[in-house]
Amino acid sequence: MSDLLEKIRQSRATRRRFMKQAGVAGLGVLGASHLGSVNLIAQSSELNDVNILNFALNLEYLEAEFYVRAAFGRGLSDSDVTGTGTLGPVIGGRQVPFTTPSIREYAEEIAADEEAHVRFLRAGLGSAAVARPTIDLQDSFTKAARAAGLIGPTETFDPYANENNFLLAAFIFEDVGVTAYKGAARFLSNKDFLEAAAGILAVEAYHASNIRTVLYARGFFDAAQRISDLRDAADGPADLDQGILMNGKANIVVSDANGIAFSRTPTQVLSIVYLGGRSAGFGFFPNRMNGAIR
């Protein structure tokens, strides 16, 4: 984690977040070489429809297992997690004791969507679908929170302890899902798959805006910025990410000067969910993802 912490310090020292808007649009096509111990196999031959959809399925497993546990106190059914590669367990996760009815309903709605995404992608992939890899929903959040400076170096972060922690934990994922689908779209050749991916991207964007709006309403400006800085530090030198406050005003819709959402490459996405790579135990995926893009 020390490498990632240093990247965050450097990012905070040099960032010019509010002046970089016009240059964002073209940054998504850039590759990233900062992973070090993460050996992403992403040559053109690997970036085909099946591998891209399996990459998305890994991310959907992560989101679904987090939300379904937080909202309903259960995980995905056994029939929704088998496939090629090694089937792994889910570490941690439990129902959040929500005190605000609207936030509980938001969580339930998002959980239902993410579970549906898993089932939809698995149905489309058929026998080619990868199994759910090992997912860490416990220590990974503490590692992320420490790296972001949300807690001290010896403290722990429990995303299920209360609804505020849940919202901050959800913020780690949601913007990443949007940028991952947009970045992967260019590699899909089947128009039906592309349309389906666009539909999932739209729903992920709704989710992200929901979480960002609630965090803004609750005044979590500094905490959200720290998580944004964490993602920025993990995904490479480009200043892509945005918090929920910009120029003193709400920044709910993340976009460039043209009003367009930005993209992340598979490598950049992996570096975020792996929390930088081997030094962080590969973050949310301790044994890395299943499939060709890992």
What pTM was estimated for this model as a whole?
A: 0.88
What is the structure's pLDDT at 20?
Answer: 36
Q: How confident is the model at residue 34 (pLDDT cuts 50, 70, 90)?
A: very low
Among 23-37, 61-75, 265-279, the range scoring the smallest mean pLDDT is: 23-37
Q: How confident is the model at residue 240 (pLDDT cuts 50, 70, 90)?
A: confident
Supply the mean pLDDT for the chain.
88
CB atoms closer than 10 angstroms to residue 155: 10
Residue 267 Ramachandran class (φ > 0 left, ψ -120 to 50 alpha, else beta): alpha
Question: Residue 18 pLDDT more than 90?
Answer: no
Task: Write out pLDDT tens, residues 143-161.
Answer: 999 999 999 999 999 999 9
What is the structure's pLDDT at 41?
Answer: 42
Instruction: Give the pair of three-digit tokens for residue 292.
Output: 């060709």
Question: Residue 40 pLDDT more than 90?
Answer: no
What is the structure's pLDDT at 12?
Answer: 53
- CATH of span 2-280: 1.20.1260.10
- Please compute the mean of the pLDDT values over residues 241-269 and round it to a whole number: 95
- Please compute the mean of the pLDDT values over residues 108-115 and round it to a whole number: 98
Question: Residue 32 pLDDT more than 90?
Answer: no
- Please compute the mean of the pLDDT values over residues 93-110 and round it to a whole number: 98
What is the structure's pLDDT at 10?
Answer: 60
- The C-alpha atoms of residue 208 and residue 172 are separated, in whole angstroms, by 10
Between residues 6 and 155, which one has the greater pLDDT?
155
Question: Residue 213 pLDDT more than 80?
Answer: yes
Output DSSP code: residue 84: B
Cα–Cα–Cα angle for 60, 64, 66, rounded to 5 degrees? 120
Judge whether 197 and 125 are in contact, CB under 8 Å.
Answer: no
Task: Write out pLDDT tens, residues 73-93.
Answer: 999 999 999 999 999 999 999
Judge whether 151 and 139 are in contact, CB under 8 Å.
Answer: no
Judge whether 129 and 286 are in contact, CB under 8 Å.
Answer: no
Question: Residue 21 pLDDT more than 50?
Answer: no
Question: Residue 185 pLDDT more than 50?
Answer: yes
Question: Residue 281 pLDDT more than 60?
Answer: yes
- Please compute the mean of the pLDDT values over residues 216-229 and round it to a whole number: 98
Question: Residue 275 pLDDT more than 70?
Answer: yes
Instruction: Give the pair of three-digit tokens for residue 287.
Output: 């044994």
What are the structural domain ranges in the chain?
Answer: 2-280
